[in-house]
Amino acid sequence: MALNFLVVDDSSIMRSMIIKMLRLSGLPLGEFYQAADGVEALKLIDDNWIDVALVDINMPVMNGEELINRVRENPETANLPIVVVSSEASQTRIEILRRKGTEFVHKPFSPGAIRETIIAMTGVSDEESIENQDIQCGGLDF
């Protein structure tokens, strides 16, 4: 089962880095969608099938926490797995985000950290991940 990812960060460089880490993670990959803020992300969620969203917190227009609130309020998207990818240091804020049904990965991060978090949230099996890693890395398709 290939997973479709939405990567939300106001830095295009960081979005590219997250996508590169996902490609190196060995996860079964489908489509990648990118947004620079929460408003763009909500439109992409409405228009596309998204299996996992990776969201930064500090962004202009609509920040990550507001995006998470809006996603959770909508019955159609309330169960979307969301991984917060941030350099946020406040344990209080991190705990608030976790209570909203998200997981947290600190920047900087490794492909393994992303992989384990997404496997835990989605239930995608290690076998599916390993098979995809053989396909991705075997052909050097980074």
* 48-104 tens-digit pLDDT: 999 999 999 989 999 999 999 999 999 999 999 999 998 877 889 899 999 999 999
Domains and CATH numbers, the chain: 3-138 (3.40.50.2300)
What pLDDT, on a 0 to 100 scale, did the predictor assign at position 55? 96
Task: Give the predicted TM-score (pTM) of the model.
Answer: 0.85
Long-range pairs, 16-19, Cβ under 8 A, ≥24: 18/54, 18/85, 18/114
* 32-54 tens-digit pLDDT: 999 999 999 999 999 999 999 99
